[in-house]
Structure 1
Amino acid sequence: MHLNTTAIVLAIRPHGEAGAIVRALTGEAGMLAGYVRGGRSRALRPVLQPGNVVLGGWRARTAEQLPALTVELAHSRAPMFREPLPAAAIEWATALTAAVLPEGQAYPQVHSALGGVLDAIEAAPAARGWAVALVRYELLVLAALGFGLDLTRCAATGTSDDLAFVSPKSGMAVSRAAATGYEARLLPLPHFVREGGAAEWTDILGGLKLTAHFLARDLLHGRAAEVLAARVRLVDRLMRAVA
């Protein structure tokens, strides 16, 4: 492997006395791991932070070998870690991506969407400005990995009108009329998820509840409790912020 490209840092794991294994998301080659010599040094710690954009150089003699990785900072999002909410959002978005994407498979839409979410977190003056984008990113990740929701028509009637809920079993939308008497068993389908646009906090929290169910069931079940813990921290902080 010989690859030089920009990448979004997703996860850093200590390795040896001073090195680190870094997973980063590229546009053309997907998520790649690499060993960074001195990755825990004072010079490289600010570079190797989740959400940062780096110019990475991966080098390996064989396909089986963990590549050596050199990094140069292209864009730092370190200032965002001074604020609890943006820090929790970056931590969750990057941890989710690192946990579920297979290595070495290109997902250009995921790469582009993750960059957009991180840009929104960086630019928005308040969490409501990026929380909608985060919900949409989670839905995109589910769809990219084969677990997309069918929100185009009602599972019971086939209608596309007044869709207000989602079946937690099938992942299909349910109309308000068909849901009568079963609302407590269904997940909310906020308007912005289907129609786009901005959203109020009630709908945003409903969207996060919707995606949480399918992420835990289909992508993170039984193998990434620490990743879900990052999401719990984010949602807790969001709920405290809007209380």
Structure 2
Amino acid sequence: MEWVDDAIVLGARHFGEGKLVAEVFSREHGRYGGVVHAGRKSQPILQAGNVVHAGWKARLSEQLGFYSPLELIEPHATRLLDDPIALAGLSSAVTLIRSATPERQAYPQLYDALIVLIEAMPHHEIWPAIYARFELGLLSAMGYGLDLSRCAVTGETENLAWVSPRTGRAATYDAGAPHAELLLRLPPFLVDAEAELEEGDVADAFALAGYFLERRVFDQRGENLPETRRRLIERLGFAGRL
């Protein structure tokens, strides 16, 4: 049993003398763990967020397996070392992948979305909004996508402003206004890529995605949303970037 693919490093831990167990998220094979020999030499490669060219091998498919080759393609983690907020965003995104996706199941669109997010992180003003889109993409990949295409009440596709916390469907401003205290705000940039970001839009997007991640993904497993996500929101808030 073996495969070769490009992959995003999710993390690594020590495993016996001179070895590491690395976890990666590959485009065509999903989330995999495997042993890395000569682990100390590989530690700089195995920083979360780096893109590697990985070959995974095992005698039987259910075994842990090992990586050979494991070669660095893009050192994204190194490029973010001087940006603690971006590192917090990277840590949160990687933790969500590790926590929410089942092992050994491919999610090519989610892989592509994570690559887009990581590559955007040097651009301080745009990546928090992209991060929020990534979380909605994660929900969709897990089978819990929101319907933000049209109003659930009127069928209209313009002026969408709310999301029902019960159904995950959108509503126009006028249709939802009488029930605003019961609804989640839908920031315009989540339905219109050309929309200008207004103050509070990113915070509303985090609240929207977090609500459904918590109830549809993590509550089902008896878990809380990852602490890394809370710390990210806290850092963005202190920096005035929500």
Which TM-score applies when normalising by structure 1? 0.90
1:140 corresponds to = 137
2:45 corresponds to = 47
In structure 1, the gaps of 5 or more residues are none
Are 1:213 and 2:215 matched, yes or no?
A: no
Q: Distance in 1 between matches of 2:85 and 2:199?
A: 15
2:72 corresponds to = 73
1:112 corresponds to = 112
1:188 corresponds to = 185
Q: Distance in 1 between matches of 2:145 and 2:218?
A: 15
2:172 corresponds to = 175
2:29 corresponds to = 29
Amino acid at match of 1:105: Q
Amino acid at match of 2:210: A
Deviates more, 1:215-224 or 1:136-145: 215-224
> What is the SS of the residue equivalent to 1:66?
coil
> What is the SS of the residue equivalent to 1:196?
coil
TM-align CA RMSD: 1.9
> What is the SS of the residue equivalent to 1:153?
strand
Amino acid at match of 1:83: D
Q: Distance in 1 between matches of 2:13 and 2:178?
A: 49
Deviates more, 1:20-29 or 1:10-19: 10-19
In structure 2, the gaps of 5 or more residues are none
Deviates more, 1:140-149 or 1:173-182: 173-182
Are 1:240 and 2:238 matched, yes or no?
A: yes
Are 1:129 and 2:126 matched, yes or no?
A: yes
CA deviation map 1:158-187 (0-9, x unaligned): 333322111111101122222233212211
Are 1:155 and 2:152 matched, yes or no?
A: yes
> Contact (CA 8 Å) 1:20, 1:35: kept in 2 or not?
yes
CA deviation map 1:55-92 (0-9, x unaligned): 21211000111111242222212231332111001101
Deviates more, 1:109-118 or 1:156-165: 156-165
> Contact (CA 8 Å) 2:95, 2:226: kept in 1 or not?
no
> Contact (CA 8 Å) 1:163, 1:175: kept in 2 or not?
yes
Shift of residue 146, structure 1, vs aligned partner = 0.6
Q: Distance in 2 between matches of 1:35 and 1:121?
A: 29
CA deviation map 1:29-53 (0-9, x unaligned): 12222122343x2x22211111001
Aligned length: 237
Which TM-score applies when normalising by structure 2? 0.90
Q: Distance in 2 between matches of 1:196 and 1:13?
A: 39
> What is the SS of the residue equivalent to 2:239?
helix
> Contact (CA 8 Å) 1:216, 1:228: kept in 2 or not?
no
Q: Distance in 2 between matches of 1:203 and 1:120?
A: 18
CA deviation map 1:124-155 (0-9, x unaligned): 1x2x2111211111111111111000112223
Amino acid at match of 1:64: E
> Contact (CA 8 Å) 2:24, 2:33: kept in 1 or not?
yes
Percent identity between matched residues is 35
> What is the SS of the residue equivalent to 2:49?
coil
